[in-house]
Structure 1
Amino acid sequence: MADRPLAQIGRERLDLGKFRHAVNGSVPRVNRLKVVVAHNRYREAIPSGENVIVDTEIAQLRAAGVEVLPFQRSSDSIGDLPAAQKALLPLAPIYGREAQRDLARLLTTERPDVLHLHNPYPLLSPWVIRTAHAHQVPVVQTVHNYRQVCASGLYFRDGHNCQDCKGRLVGWPAVKHRCYRGSAAQSALMATTLAVHRPTWRSVDRFIALTDRIAAHLRDYGIPDERIVIKPNGLPDPGEPDPLGEGFLYAARLSPEKGLDLLLDAWRRHPDGALGPLRIAGDGDLRPLAEQAAAERADVSYLGVLDQDGMRSARRAAAVVIAVPTWNDVLPTVILEAMASGRPVLGTAVGGIPYLLGTDAAGWVVAPEAAALAAALPVARTEAGRRGKAARDRYLQHFHPDVLTARLIDIYSEITANSNHSPS
């Protein structure tokens, strides 16, 4: 099936059963699809949009009739590993012996059609790609960040965007600046891992780029266009939106690249109470900034870390969601959640945010500068009521499961039909 624009697919709102017929000629072909989803889960103490997306995608695929075999490890388990495994842990990003053994056993027993990889670090290792290919299983990878090149995956350090390692055989600047976990030793290991696995990454059968920015990153890395597909993440439909609440919600990891200090600088340029309430949710190194702002101003409140029910309640209470990272954030889940709930978004013109908000009046995109953000805040407050429906419509047309699960099944079907790695 030739690729079609996501907007066109969204307007058609394809039923998944009809889609299976369109792609494969019969429902049973999709039902026979067996997919291993490989992911190293980030620590649960720090909210991870990537963990949420992986869990959501697995549920959506199963609902569509795909047999999904999760192959996951969690960074939370590192402290409980046996001493022998802990001793080998520094080498895990390069090889990951235990993971390769367990994956080989799973592939031999289950003979899946595809391995779909998300995050391999630190316990899985990109070596899972080689293991899959050794068992004649093609590999699809969703690229959530820039870690083919950048040790931290962010292209961001010391408060500014950075691409010092781009184009280098080994990313020594990452070692110098301790870009991976603040450690020179661990940064050296990650830089070595990225150099060792350059051929591994280039052997992936199909890359799923979440946005056009990620597609450009992969092209710069040497991946040909025919092995790159742009397909964003999506989220389940929460149902018809509640009426807009009041004020603004900022929910993110409270770290420098997420722009809390930028937001508070812009907010303080307005008198206390002039914009309605600002609610801040999340945790991280910049938590003291949130607590200080809440102590200083009556129109700022710090909500702490919220579970899913708490986040839904906070969105219902708001009229506008704010997402103002200063790094090239790939595809912030908070924006998808906002649009699905009919909340327009005020975002910065970085990374995938312009792609997410599009040109459908789903929100406002401004330069990542305090003056520009300060000027946009009263505009967003005034126009929120007129933009909520546009935000919801953009979600339905571009990020609804009916659209994206169908697209993912299409990718799997295409790769199993054309890959030299398909199991016999």
Structure 2
Amino acid sequence: MKVLVVHNRYRSEQPSGENNVVDQEVSLLHEAGHEVGLFERRSDDIASMSLVGRVSVPLRVPWNAAVRTELATRLRADRPDVVHIHNTFPLLSPSVVAACTDAGVPAVATLHNYGMVCPPGTLYRDGRVCTSCVGGQPLPAVRHGCYRGSRAATVPMAVSTALNRARWWTGVSRFFCISGAQRELLVSAGMPAESLVVKHNFVEDPPVRRELPGEHVLYLGRMTEEKGVRLLMTAWSRAEMDIPLVLAGTGPLSDEVSDWAAGRRDVHYLGLRTKAECQALLARASAVVVPSVWLEAFGLVVVEAMAAGVPAVAPAHGAFPELIEPEATGLLHAPGDASSLAAALRRIVAPAWNRELGETARVRYEKDFTPSVGLDRLIAGYEAAIG
């Protein structure tokens, strides 16, 4: 099969799970013998643009006519069987969908977030889950400045959402939702149910798995409010655990987390770590904690923990209830509730039960989240779109 992948890469200074997913899928297709081309833009390139170029970027977020022409020309020359669209913000724009229509090439798109119904794609505002724009026009997002706290910065995204909704929904043959929870919300917002299929992200089998009892509870991710970092700090202070908490990652709350950890003997903040270092931390974990207070469309860290034979604690909302089977592969806590999270942390580290949870989590990974399963679902989506 001949596939062209379309993606606007996120800035390298902010490690992106979405970039990683795209790279892994491209490698997976190559290894399976498929021919894969790339049509990319990089947000890193904005910094090197002229002043005029940088100023014009927001104007091209809703529609980039030059990209439409360039991509349509590429498609007519290469004639791929299918185009796989990922992120189009800010340098590509939804004009890539029109280019596929111009060239008569079927398109599929992976929905990595809630951008179809929420301009910043997060469904999160002012410390809480927000669905004000779901099923309607994105005016609340502009009013509240939901993207980077700025009304001006939110306007191009809101305009793009409003103007291109019909084009996305009619011009893309198959949308890959990364969880059933995400699909359910998008269908309720009016997206065509027949075009939305669930294709979970896959995870490569790690080079190391847990063999000995875990040494720590691990938080692995961005240091941000929506990821539940402050909730975790509160819960950990209440939990009074016998093993330490290790946090790895970076973000706006890094200094706050570092200061908090410096005042405790049972907490270690490591900052940003390499992929190999994160895998080693996972293999030595008793449990992974993912305390997100927003509605995660997926939970990649949970699946990475499964692959390493490690159970997870996460909130009972978003995608987590379909990833974690309570009392079997991990535990769910009441969303946003520090006491419920503390209780789950105390329970999950019980030695005999913890080992059993980890073993069951590994079985779940082998059943649903391996590269081979991911490839089968990817190709099935492509074939359906071509058909």
Q: TM-score, normalised by structure 1?
A: 0.87
Specify the alignment match of 2:345 in structure 1: 377
Name the amino acid aligned to 1:347: A
User: Is contact 1:275-1:381 (8 Å) kept?
Assistant: no
Specify the alignment match of 2:141 in structure 1: 174
Specify the alignment match of 2:6 in structure 1: 38
Specify the alignment match of 1:352 in structure 2: 319
Higher mean alpha-carbon deviation, 320-329 vs 91-100, is at: 91-100
> Of 333, 352, 361, which aligns to 1:391?
361
In 1, distance between residues paired with 2:209 and 2:183? Answer: 32
Indicate yes or no: 2:42 matched with 1:71.
no
1:202 alignment partner, SS class: helix
> Of 246, 249, 262, which aligns to 2:218?
249
User: Is contact 1:360-1:394 (8 Å) kept?
Assistant: no
Specify the alignment match of 2:235 in structure 1: 266
In 1, distance between residues paired with 2:244 and 2:115? Answer: 37
In 2, distance between residues paired with 1:343 and 1:74? Answer: 35
Cα drift, residue 239 of structure 1:
4.7
Structure 1 gap ranges (5+): 1-32, 418-424
In 1, distance between residues paired with 2:274 and 2:19? Answer: 14
Cα drift, residue 240 of structure 1:
6.2
User: Is contact 2:210-2:285 (8 Å) kept?
Assistant: no
> Of 185, 194, 205, which aligns to 1:217?
185
Q: Equivalences for 1:10-409 in 2 at 5 Å?
A: 33-169=1-137, 171-203=138-170, 204-239=172-207, 241-244=209-212, 245-271=214-240, 274-358=241-325, 361-368=328-335, 369-382=337-350, 383-409=353-379
2:318 alignment partner, SS class: coil
User: Is contact 2:208-2:279 (8 Å) kept?
Assistant: no
In 2, distance between residues paired with 1:255 and 1:177? Answer: 19
User: Is contact 1:279-1:300 (8 Å) kept?
Assistant: yes
Cα drift, residue 270 of structure 1:
3.2
In 2, distance between residues paired with 1:337 and 1:99? Answer: 36
2:265 alignment partner, SS class: coil
In 2, distance between residues paired with 1:108 and 1:163? Answer: 40
Cα drift, residue 360 of structure 1:
7.7
Cα drift, residue 83 of structure 1:
4.5
Name the amino acid aligned to 1:385: R
Structure 2 gap ranges (5+): none
**Would the alpha carbon gap of residues 167 and 229 (structure 1) be closer, same or farther in structure 2, given more than 3 Å must change?**
closer
Q: Identity across aligned pairs (percent)?
A: 40
Indicate yes or no: 2:383 matched with 1:413.
yes
Name the amino acid aligned to 1:232: H
Aligned residue pairs, count: 382
1:219 alignment partner, SS class: helix
Cα drift, residue 71 of structure 1:
1.4
User: Is contact 2:206-2:279 (8 Å) kept?
Assistant: no
Specify the alignment match of 1:8 in structure 2: none
Cα drift, residue 396 of structure 1:
0.7
Tell me which stretches of 4 or more aligned residues in structure 1 moved more than 3 Å. 82-85
In 1, distance between residues paired with 2:36 and 2:50? Answer: 29
Higher mean alpha-carbon deviation, 183-192 vs 351-360, is at: 351-360
Task: Name which structure has the greater RCO, CA cutoff 8 Å, separation 6+.
Answer: 1
User: Is contact 2:7-2:39 (8 Å) kept?
Assistant: yes
